Structure 1
Amino acid sequence: MRIDLHTHSTASDGTDTPAELVRKAGDAGLDVVALTDHDTTRGHAEAVKALPEGLTLVTGAELSCRLNGTGLHLLAYLFDPDEPALLAERELVRDDRVPRARAMVGKLQELGVDIEWEHVARIAGDGSLGRPHIAEALVELGVVPTVSDAFTADWLANGGRAYVDKHELDPFEAIRLVKAAGGVTVFAHPLAVKRGEVVPVEAIARLAEAGLDGIEADHMDHEPATRARLKGLAGELGLLATGSSDYHGSRKTCLLGEYTTDPEVYGEIIRRATGAFPVPGTGGVPA
């Protein structure tokens, strides 16, 4: 059983529509895929409608959080998307994305980059606008060779020259809200140092005490030693250890199913969730 619990579509910063994503997940031989767009559930209905037979969809979102000045992401699974308190917080984060992106474009212009807001908006389309869209514009302009190269201190990394803060949830409050909505929380790529500053291990322990369910250990931004360390930490803290691709379509090099979650861990996630249930595919709509 192959299970990938972290993917993105055009509802946020991926390049595949939700329908395309689930079809590709089926073609890749996955049995279960989670759609976890940034701070939104807008792509779920389309994904469910196109879900191929033999593929199960786990609904979710990747929540933007910040702890003591350091950004972190929480994967939230199988929560009630209409629960008012969590919905209100997601909308606050989402609504801050456009003014934040405009401010980053302004900073890039001050740095001498010939970038226009319309260029970034065209790339984002109807998606939940974020740094990857700006990074893609920098690639198209020849400023950097790849999207990953835009996420450095010179450009868009946390604290970088063109970085701008955004509204983000306190992770302890996020865990409380997701639990109240019947969901399950997993700390996404917690030690991905190539992305910038990460929270200390002591903070992960405090999040576990507050009800965090798991940590994403197997991930493209974790070296083998880091993956082993995180699995050991999960055992010490009583957390679930997941694995996921963090697939973004052509915007990143990772492939669907590149890293997967153990079926027993997936079963425990389902057991703990009360806000929603996985959706089995029945054939989807014609391409």
Structure 2
Amino acid sequence: MRIDLHAHSNASDGTDSPAELVRNAVLAGLDVVALTDHDTTGGYAEAFDAVRGTGLTLVPGAELSCRVDGISMHMLAYLFDPEEPEFAHERELLRTDRVRRAQAIIERCAELGAPITWEQVRRIAGHGAVGRPHIASALVEAGVVESVDQAFTADWLANGGRADVPKRETDPVEAIRLVRGAGGVPVFAHPGASKRGRTVSEATIAKLAAAGLAGLEVDHMDHDEETRARLRGLAAELGLLVTGSSDYHGSRKTVRLGADTTDPAVYEALLAQATGAAPVSGKDR
């Protein structure tokens, strides 16, 4: 059984539509895939329709923007009730702030000599929630950089870079409370991804575990073998589940669906904690 619990569609910053994501998950030989767009459930309806008759199981989720100890981090939320009002309101605040931030970053890029516009970035994002990857694509279109990766440097969009602008980020303890309050299950996404910037300390992860964190995403493209071993040991010490996933973004990243996967027993343990929603099985539709 092949289970990938972290994938994005163009409802946020992926390039596949939700339906294309489902089709590509089937082609990749997955049995289960989670749709975890940033701060939004906007891709759910299309993905639910697309999974019909495929044999694939779709896990509804989201990836939340958080900050603790001055460090940005992401929280994966699985199987929550998307209509629960308190958590829905927080996701709306995060999405609204994405627009403010994107417009401010575009203005800074223009001041630095990059000929990009809000209209261009909005076109690239389509119906999805605007994010830095869309601005990076605009910089590529404008010939400012050669690739999206080159846009995420100190010269442009990297955290603390010349064009970076702070965004709204939820305290992770509050995020855990909101996710649990909506019947969902919270997992810390790529906690050891040091090439993205500073990472959260083990002491802070212990505090998050005490607040109700369910697991750590250990098997991830941004973790080398030493980091995976360290995080696996920490998870065992704290009684946390260990997940694995691709963090697929379509053509925006080179990683493929199913590059890393989650053990079926861990998947069942996540399901056992969820009360807000259930996976959608293509076999039953």
- When the two structures are superposed, what TM-score results if normalisation uses the length of structure 2? 0.97
For residues 121-270 of structure 1, the aligned pairs below 5 Å read 121-270=122-271
Q: Which amino acid aligns with 1:167?
A: R
Q: Is the 8 A contact 1:53 1:283 kept in 2?
A: no
Which residue is 1:36 aligned to? 36
What residue identity is the alignment partner of 2:95?
A: R
Counterpart amino acid of residue 68 in structure 1:
D
Give secondary structure in 2 for the equivalent of 1:53: coil
How far did 1:143 drift? 2.2
Q: SS in structure 1 opposite 2:58?
A: strand
Helix, strand or coil at the partner of 1:172: helix
Name 1:22's counterpart in structure 2.
22
Q: Deviations over 1:237-278 (max 9, x none)?
A: 111111000000001111000110010100100011011111
How do 1:32-111 and structure 2 match up within 5 A?
32-51=32-51, 52-111=53-112
C-alpha separation in 1, matches of 2:224 and 2:153:
19
**Number of aligned residues:** 284
Tell me which moved more, 145-154 or 21-30.
145-154
Measured in 2, the distance between the counterparts of 1:212 and 1:12 equals 24
What SS does the corresponding residue of 1:85 show, helix, strand or coil? helix
Matched residue of 1:221: which SS?
coil
Amino acid corresponding to residue 154 of structure 2 in structure 1 = A
C-alpha deviation, 1:156, in angstroms: 1.0
Q: Percent identity?
A: 68
Structure 2 counterpart of 1:170, one-letter code: D
Shift of 1:142: 2.5
Please list the CA deviations of residues 14-35 of structure 1 after superposition, one character each: whole Å capped at 9, or x if unmatched.
1011011001101110000000
CA distance in 2 between partners of 1:69 and 1:153 (Å): 18
**Contact 1:214–1:240 (8 Å) recurs in 2:** yes
Deviation >3 Å, runs of 4+: none
* Matched position secondary structure for 1:241: strand
- Offset of residue 138 of structure 1: 1.5
Q: 1:151, 1:195 within 8 Å by CA — same for their partners in 2? A: no
> Structure 2: how far apart are the matches of 1:69 and 1:204?
14
User: Per the alignment, do residues 23 and 206 of structure 1 end up closer, same or farther by CA in structure 2, a change over 3 Å counting?
Assistant: same
| Structure 2 gaps, min length 5 | none
Work out the CA distance in 1 between the residues paired with 2:140 and 2:199.
26
Letter in 1 for 2:3: I
Paired residue secondary structure (2:228): helix
Find the aligned partners of 2:98 and 2:217 in 1 and give their Cα distance: 25
Residue 20 (structure 2) pairs with residue 13 (structure 1): no
* TM-fit CA distance, 1:283: 8.5
Please give the root-mean-square deviation of Cα atoms over the aligned residues, in Å: 1.2
Cα gap change, 1:135 to 1:257, in 2 (>3 Å): same
- With 255-264 and 152-161 compared, the bigger mean Cα shift is at 152-161
| TM-score, length-scaled by structure 1 | 0.96
Return the offset for 1:54.
1.4
Q: C-alpha separation between the residues in 2 aligned to 1:136 and 1:32?
A: 30
- Give the SS at the match of 2:7: coil
Separation in structure 1 between the aligned mates of residue 136 and residue 245 of structure 2, nearest angstrom: 23
What one-letter code is carried by the residue in structure 2 that aligns with 1:19?
Answer: A
* Structure 1 position 115, deviation (Å): 1.5
In structure 1, what is the Cα distance between the partners aligned to 2:255 and 2:284? 26
Deviations 1:194-232 (A, max 9, x none): 111221221111111111000111111111211111111
Please state whether the residue corresponding to 1:6 is helix, strand or coil. strand
> How far did residue 56 of structure 1 move?
0.2
Instruction: Quote the Cα distance in structure 2 between the aligned partners of 1:224 and 1:119.
Output: 40
